[in-house]
Structure 1
């Protein structure tokens, strides 16, 4: 927070919204308010957005988590991590506190900002018709998302869903098998390359769209957020790569 205030937000004073599944401490509130001149809000994640869905079999979750742990998949046994990935994939932009906002800059703990930014990034997004901004692409653990791409193809198999594919999509990037062939094989056709979502600036109208909501609901019902360890980064990346004009994705 200090980094971002120093390098950027002290010039623009955009409000900060902190979200958590439990109440913030008074110490946290005092220290974060002291770090900015902008408005600061503290919000609770609605219980129904955070809790494990009723259709998830917890015995199967425990068995799956053990298998993933044996494959050195990080955080596989931490139910809260799965909940967080699901929430970041399909819930955060539905929070009542964000309903009057269109653009967001996601700020994660332990992320640092080194360079001065002297322009209004949200105005840039709006004026240049950009949907999503990122800083780096990285490869995910293919064991953590083994069925994510097959489930995506199931979604696209419907004529109603196939029409959501944008003519200028990034399918070649999503299915690249040359750079890391083993990743593509283990992830059943997905390159595993994704936008690192610990830094992302986005237009929530994309996440609120009909095509993304239907895509998320399909993935959610499959159980992969819990039986595997699907992260919000590959989910966001696949959706953007398929349903958005790639010229609207900004690096």
Structure 2
């Protein structure tokens, strides 16, 4: 029994030892975990404090780097022909006050005023003078914003005052003019005024009036072309009864056969409501026999006019011309990109429909007038097919477009993000097939941002250097600025351009082949049928994006 008691005590002691070992192990683990946590938090706190210290030192250094900087610039100011007129100020109290009229000369170099912390300069010329009522009077005569990177060396002569120089009495005697500037060190975004980018260069392209024979230089501003009160047209067949819309072509004598086919299709499908047709040419269609022949093709119910234009190979082109294409192709692209909407003919109409000599509309019966559809639904732009531009024919175009957006503080619109940018962030090259396009005349002529974009493209020279087409140029700006419900796709008749065609929505199989068969004349060529009017099929991001009229 004593042995059993000793054994029991030993077992109890062993169990007690095991229990103590587990308790010690548990306490040890807790202590180790607390030590680890304490070490991590301590290190994190130390790192955070050090980071704040470094940032504080850097901030102080940044502040001190420009705080003691002394800005200076050389300035020379002159005044020409100062005149003081005592006249009625109709903009204020209608009393007679002094009005200062003068011309200014300014020669200055403001480059030293820029450093890494200066985003732009706001400079202005101030006239200071003394009156019995005030010891100091200041009037701003002229101002200008100079952004970093722009030319800060000004050499201006005989510039007029930008603002009227009125005094509220007759005390404009002794005047001191000084140049003042302000730094703008933080600038979110200041958009460029689109009208400042529109340059009337008295373009060396010309157009001729078909009645008077007078030649005019082309302008690309929104001003009236050479102060024409109303452009006169020598209409064949009959004069227009409506000036809602006009159908325009640009063609040559070599394309007469295809032009006859295109006009015949127009005459058939628009027989319910014939619309005026105007053919632009470079003088090779002045022959009376040719004009009467084309007028006969259209029929005596359709007005037909001819506008002679003259292209040039000088100032607007770059020195480097894309060699794989003829000059006429580049002229055509520039004509439809920026020049056509600024021809005085279009001041007579609200809408225009652009077609090419190889553009054929077709269907089994006359169609509803697309001009009336656009007017009723307030549509700004209509197309029928979409395509993709070849990558090597759009080199630098999307980069220029992004530069344009940045200059005008614009973000990519939802339509651009969905149709012009792929999943990988690249330019999709998707574009409207603009050899068929209906547009509001004012869209490309009067919309300030669209005009600014077209002028930017024209100045860049990419049309001639890279072979940029009017299709991607117009597509980019339209998807950016025109709302989705103001652009439509017409799908209620068929369309063919050269070797590519699409039938009306719902017309398929043998019926489609029957309608297009008259235009498949060359057995040696391969013709491409786009069932949904999209290339390459529905993979094109523009395909079915805009509302469709079927």
TM above 0.5, yes or no, is: yes
When normalised by structure 1's length, the TM-score is 0.82
Q: Does structure 1 residue 217 correspond to structure 2 residue 455?
A: yes
Partner of 2:341: 93
Cα distance change, pair 42–156 in 1 and its aligned pair in 2 (3 A):
same
Which of the residues 396, 404, 408 maps onto 1:155?
404
Partner of 1:29: 291
Offset, 1:140: 1.0
Unaligned runs of 5+ in 2: 1-262, 490-550
Contact 2:337/2:473 (8 A) holds in 1:
yes
* Cα RMSD after superposing both structures: 2.0
The answer as to 2:491 corresponding to 1:245 is: no
Q: Deviations over 1:197-234 (max 9, x none)?
A: 11111112111111111001111111101110011111
Q: Mark the CA change 1:53 to 1:102 in structure 2 (over 3 Å): closer, same or farther.
A: farther
Q: Is residue 269–residue 366 contact of structure 2 (8 Å, CA) maintained in 1?
A: yes
1:71 paired residue number: none
Question: How far apart are the structure 1 equivalents of 2:304 and 2:373?
Answer: 23
Q: Is the CA contact 1:107–1:199 (under 8 Å) kept in the aligned structure 2?
A: yes
Please name the residue that 2:72 is paired with: none
Aligned position for 2:388: 139
Which structure exhibits the higher relative contact order, with contacts defined as CA atoms closer than 8 Å and separated by 6 or more residues? Answer: 1
In structure 1, the residue matched to 2:35 is: none
Q: Report how far residue 166 of structure 1 moved.
A: 8.5
Contact 2:353 2:439 in 1 (8 A): yes
Match of 2:417 in 1: 171
**What's the CA shift for 1:191?**
0.9
| 3-state SS, counterpart of residue 12 of structure 1 | coil
One of 360, 363, 367 as aligned partner of 1:112: 360
Whole-angstrom CA distance in 1 between matches of 2:416 and 2:326 = 32
How far the C-alpha of 1:100 sits from its partner, in A, is 1.3
Measured at CA, do residues 7 and 23 of structure 1 come closer, stay the same or move farther in structure 2, by a change above 3 Å?
same
Task: In structure 1, list runs of 5 or more residues that go unmatched.
Answer: 67-75, 179-183
Verify the 8 A CA contact 2:272 2:366 in the aligned structure 1.
no
Return the match for 1:3 from 258, 265, 269.
265
- Give 1:38 shift: 1.4
Q: Secondary structure at the match of 1:215?
A: helix
Alpha carbons of 1:197 and 1:97: their partners in 2 closer, same or farther (altered >3 Å)?
A: same
Query: Which of these residues, 420, 436, 445, is aligned with residue 199 of structure 1?
Result: 436
Deviation (angstroms), 1:117: 4.4
* Match of residue 315 from structure 2: 54
Q: 1:245 to 1:53 in 2, by over 3 A?
A: farther
Q: Structure 1: which 4+ aligned runs deviate by more than 6 Å? A: none
- Whether 2:467 is the aligned partner of 1:234: answer no
Report which of the two has the higher share of strand: 2
Instruction: Map Cα deviations across residues 22-60 of structure 1 (whole Å, 9 max, x no partner).
Output: 241323201111022211110012x4xx324515343x2
Inter-CA distance 57–240: structure 2 relative to 1 (3 Å threshold): closer
Once the two structures are superposed, residues 178-211 of structure 1 have per-residue CA deviations (whole angstroms, 9 ceiling, x without a partner) of: 7xxxxx8xxxx32111110111111121111111
